Amino acid sequence: MGRWQLAGNEADTVSAMRIGVLTGGGDCPGLNAVIRAVVRKGVGVYGHEFVGFQDGWRGPVEADVAPLGVEQVRGILPRGGTILGSSRTNPYKVEGGPERIRATVTNLNLDGLIAIGGEDTLGVAKRLTDDGVPVVGVPKTIDNDLNATDYTFGFDTAVTIAMEAIDRLHTTAESHHRALVVEVMGRHAGWIALHAGMAGGANIILIPERPFDIEQVCAYVERRFETHYAPIIVVAEGATPKEGTMTVREGELDAFGHVRLSGIGVVLEEEIRGRTGRECRATVLGHIQRGGTPTAFDRVLATRFGLHAVDAAHDGDWGNMVALRGTDIVRVPLAEATRELKLVPLERYAEAEVFFG
Ligand code: F6P
C-alpha cells in the first residue's frame, strides 16, 4: 500500500506512512486525547501523515475524510466528544460496505487504519483485518466491558459523574424521606453501577449479571427507612428482574442488534412505590455520563493508548489492539478483545452486597 518518501536528502529519507483514524460507537470522554496522541507522536516522532474519517465506519464507507494534522489536534486534550464524530454504522450491514472501505483505503493511499471504539467497532476492525484491511484498535467504552484490557478510558469519567450525582441525591432523598432510584448506563455489564454505587454509598446496586428479586429490593428499602435513612438504589440500564417476577418493556434494535435501553429506573420506581407504599422517584443519568471533560485518569490512559497505537501501526502490527494490563500498555489480538464481554464477576458483586439495606 501507500508508503512514500519524506522530502529531504535521498540518503537519509525515512519511509513514512499514511494512516486513517476513526472513532466509532457511543462517544466517550478521552477520544480526543487518543486522537491527539496518535497525531502528535505519529507526525512528530515518525513523520507519518494522518487523515480523519468522519462518523465511525461511515467515514471510510463513504470516503468522508478530512486532513488530520497537528493543527487539527491543538487544544483538544480536555474536550469531551470526538472531533471526528461517531456513529453506530456497521459496514457489514451496508451494501458493499467492506469493499467500499477497501477501495477508500487504496484510493487514499493509506497503509492502514486506527479504529477507536468498543466491542462493535473493534469487532468490525477484526473482520476487516481478516478481509485484508489493516487495522489497529484502541479500546473505548464508558461501560468498561471490553475483554483483554483492565480498563477502557471513559469509564473513570462516567463513574465519577454518576458518583457525584449519587452524592447529591443522598441529601435531597434524606430531606424528603423518599427512596431514589438512579439509572446508570451499562447494557450488558454493571461496572458503572458497581463502581459508582460503591463509591457513592448506594444501599442497593442492581446489575445485568445478576437478575434481581424485587421482593428483596423492597425489603432493603424498608430496612433502610427503619434506620432513618433514605435509600438510594443504583440500577444499570440492562439490569433485569428474575424471570417471571416483573414486567419490563422491550426496546428497538440498533445496527449491531443491541436493544436501545432505558426504562428500568422508572419501572423500579413504580414497583417500589406500589409494593412498599413509600414515595420513590427515579433519575436517569443517560448521556450525561458520556459528556464533558475526561478525568485525569482517563486523559492519561487515553493518551498512552494513542501513543502505543501509533507505535503498533508504525511497526505494521495490524490486527492488534492496545490494552492496559496492570500499569503497562500491551498489544493483544483484536480476536481476544472481541471474543466475549468482560462482565462483573459475582465475587465483586458480593463485596458490594455487604452494604445493601
Ligand atoms: O456502549 C456505550 C453506551 O453508552 C451504553 O452504556 C449504552 O447502552 C449505549 O451506549 C447508549 O447508546 P446511544 O448513544 O445509542 O444512546
Residue 294: band (very low, low, confident or very high) from pLDDT cuts 50, 70, 90: very high
User: How far is the centre of ligand 1, averaged over its atoms, from the C-alpha of 291 (Å)?
Assistant: 12
Cell numbers at 45, concatenated: 516522532
Ligand 1 pocket: which of 142, 153, 192, 254 to mutate (most atoms within 8 A of CB): 142
| CA triple 123-127-128, angle to 5 deg | 115
Same domain? 35 vs 106? yes
The pLDDT score that the predictor gives to residue 15 is: 83
Same domain membership, residue 161 and residue 144: no
User: What's the first-to-final CA gap in the chain, in angstroms?
Assistant: 61
What residue's CA is closest to ligand 1, atom 12? 26
11 shares its domain with 103: yes
- Is 143 part of the annotated catalytic residue set? yes
Q: Which of 55, 111, 120, 143 is catalytic?
A: 143
**Structural domain containing residue 50:** 4-153+294-338
User: Do 50 and 143 sit in the same domain of this protein?
Assistant: yes
Tell whether the torsion through CA atoms of 173, 178, 179 and 184 is positive or negative.
Answer: negative
Pairing of strands 15-16, 18-23: unpaired
pLDDT in tens, 88-140: 999 999 999 999 999 999 999 999 999 999 999 999 999 999 999 999 999 99
Which pLDDT value is given to residue 260?
62
Distance 44 CA to ligand 1 centre (A): 34
- The pairing of strands 204-206 and 280-284 is unpaired
Whole-angstrom CA distances from 145 to 84, 119, 202, 339, 351 are 23, 8, 21, 12, 19
Q: CATH number, domain at 299?
A: 3.40.50.450
Best CA proximity match to 118, nearest among 134, 137, 136, 139: 139
Report which protein residue has its CA nearest ligand 1's atom 1.
Answer: 26
Q: Hey, what's the cell of 13?
A: 529519507
How many other C-beta atoms lie within 10 A of the C-beta of residue 147?
Answer: 18
Does 237 reside within a domain? yes
For residue 3, how many other CB atoms are within 10 A of its CB?
A: 10
Of all protein residues, the one whose alpha carbon is nearest to atom 9 of ligand 1 is 26
Task: Tell me: pLDDT of 206 over 50.
Answer: yes
pTM higher than 0.85 for the full model?
yes
Residue that is written with C-alpha cell 450525582 in the block: 165
Measured from CB, residues less than 6 Å from any atom of ligand 1 are 26, 118, 141-143, 185-187, 237, 261, 290
- Give the model's confidence band at 256: pLDDT under 50 very low, under 70 low, under 90 confident, else very high: confident
Dihedrals phi, psi of 318, to nearest 5 degrees: -70, 160
Rounded-to-integer distance, Cα 34 and Cα 140, Å: 10
Mean pLDDT to the nearest integer, 189-197: 98
Residue nearest to atom 13 of ligand 1 (CA): 26
Per-residue pLDDT reduced to its tens digit, 36-59: 999 999 999 999 999 999 999 999
